[in-house]
């Protein structure tokens, strides 16, 4: 396929200074796309008191939601409406179905350019605490996603398990490609964690288990704390460092104290993304308990930092980790996760073998190779748009209408 310079727009509910797996994915791809000579534009949420150091970041108004520590983007901006035609876009890439995904689809239709969508998140898994019927919310989400994906020239699944879910749930077999987020290995290979160990007073005898993620129920940190507490009873030199913040931080701190391990668990909080490689390099083991990942990007980054992995076997994570090759996978029980960590602590040969396997796995996800594949997808989407392939009628209905229909069905 002939490659030419593209003008690419990424539409996302969140962008810097918010840091998440989706934001890391966008940042990584943007940098690599620009290195290949493409022009890249970001459309994200308003960020008060934050100055963009990179060019071509366009901000929509946003409301802060303190309880969730998450901005709600309002995709309305006369200035952006004015500037979009000037950018001469070739493709629009949406990273959320709503609200910015809806804006992306509207702009793509008006500009006559293809819409590409990455299904980053298992949205149905995040409804436990909404205070309404989980079945109802899941049905609404699935209907909205089904309607949204009918508007896309191409859909990207970040892992094989997400591709299977899309195929089984929505019946989409074509215009669907597995493409994980790549990583810039140079940043991880060049990192040195000794200054972090010194600053945090981790001695040479300390075995530091590290985990990264939003401190929220879906990330399963309570189970990780219970597992590490069991390990600490047998291994006095073990410490746990948690990178990240979120609504459950206080509850997790209280749980650590109740388990009697509060003094050996460090809630580091948010750290600048450029410092993450050094924190990972400073640790000895990466452990992860989340069961809602789509790709397991943070696990892959730990592998790039030469860390052996012990994680709960779940979608996303199991797409990255090969059991006994580059990590250990356990069932979703604290005792099983504890046994995996203890096994690694007691077997230096196993630890060394898993480190070698982790680095080999990370090599397969080098950002330059993965970005080349994404550019091919964009070109294919442009060709499909011009040929009129995968064009569906606008079947999207307001979300309140879908919810009303489901309530009527159940009455």
Query: Which carries the bigger pLDDT value, residue 19 or residue 251?
Result: 251
Q: Enumerate the H helices of 131-288 as residue ranges.
A: 134-149, 160-170, 185-190, 194-199, 221-234, 249-258, 276-282
Tokens representing 130? 């909404």
For 189, 221, 291, 343, the CA distances from 278, given in Å and listed in that order, are 10, 22, 26, 25
- In this predicted structure, the answer to whether residue 409 has a pLDDT above a threshold of 60 is no
**pLDDT tens digit sequence for 269-294:** 999 888 999 999 999 999 999 998 88
This prediction has a pTM of 0.79
- Domain layout of the chain by residue ranges: 7-182+367-410, 185-363
**Homologous superfamily, domain 185-363:** Glycogen Phosphorylase B; (3.40.50.2000)
Which of the following CATH numbers is that of domain 7-182+367-410: 3.40.50.2000, 3.40.50.300, 2.140.10.10, 1.10.357.10? 3.40.50.2000
The one-character DSSP state at 53 is -
- In this predicted structure, the answer to whether residue 309 has a pLDDT above a threshold of 60 is yes
User: What's residue 140's pLDDT?
Assistant: 85
Q: Does 185-363 match 7-182+367-410 at the fold level?
A: yes
Percentage with pLDDT > 90 across the chain: 77
**pLDDT tens digit sequence for 155-180:** 999 989 899 999 999 999 899 999 99
**pLDDT tens digit sequence for 214-264:** 999 989 999 999 999 999 999 999 999 999 999 999 999 999 999 999 999
């Amino acid at each position: 396929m002939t490659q030419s310079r593209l003008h690419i727009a990424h539409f996302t509910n969140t962008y810097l200074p918010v840091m998440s797996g989706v934001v890391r994915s966008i940042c990584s791809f943007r940098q690599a796309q620009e290195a290949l000579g493409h022009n890249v534009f970001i459309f994200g949420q308003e960020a008060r008191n934050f100055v963009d150091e990179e060019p071509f970041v366009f901000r929509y108004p946003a409301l802060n939601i303190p309880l969730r520590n998450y901005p709600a983007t309002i995709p309305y901006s006369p200035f952006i409406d004015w500037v979009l035609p000037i950018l001469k876009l070739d493709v629009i890439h949406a990273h959320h179905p709503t609200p910015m995904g809806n804006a992306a689809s509207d702009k793509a239709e008006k500009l006559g350019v293809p819409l590409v969508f990455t299904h980053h998140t298992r949205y149905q898994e995040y409804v436990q605490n909404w205070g309404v019927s989980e079945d109802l919310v899941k049905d609404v989400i699935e209907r909205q996603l089904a309607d949204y994906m009918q508007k896309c020239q191409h859909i990207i699944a970040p892992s094989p398990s997400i591709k299977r879910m899309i195929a089984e749930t929505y019946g989409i077999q074509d215009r669907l490609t597995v493409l994980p987020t790549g990583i810039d290995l140079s940043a991880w290979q060049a990192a040195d964690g000794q200054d972090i160990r010194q600053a945090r007073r981790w001695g040479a005898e300390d075995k530091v288990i590290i985990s990264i993620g939003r401190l929220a129920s879906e990330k399963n940190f309570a189970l990780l704390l219970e597992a590490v507490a069991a390990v600490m009873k047998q291994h006095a030199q073990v410490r746990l460092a948690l990178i990240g913040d979120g609504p459950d931080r206080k509850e997790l701190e209280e749980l650590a104290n109740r388990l009697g391990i509060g003094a050996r668990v460090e809630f580091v909080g948010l750290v600048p993304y450029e410092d993450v490689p050094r924190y990972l390099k400073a640790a000895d083991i990466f452990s992860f308990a989340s069961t809602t990942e789509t790709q397991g990007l943070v696990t892959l980054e730990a592998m790039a930092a030469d860390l052996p992995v012990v994680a709960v076997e779940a979608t996303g994570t199991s797409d990255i980790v090969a059991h006994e090759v580059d990590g250990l996978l356990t069932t979703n029980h604290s005792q099983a996760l504890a046994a995996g960590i203890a096994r690694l602590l007691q077997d230096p040969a196993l630890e060394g073998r898993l480190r070698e396997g982790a680095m080999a796995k990370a090599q397969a996800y080098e950002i330059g190779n993965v970005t080349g594949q994404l550019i091919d997808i964009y070109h294919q989407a442009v060709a499909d748009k011009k040929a009129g392939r995968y064009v569906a009628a606008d079947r999207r209905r307001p979300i309140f209408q879908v919810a009303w229909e489901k309530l009527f069905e159940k009455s």
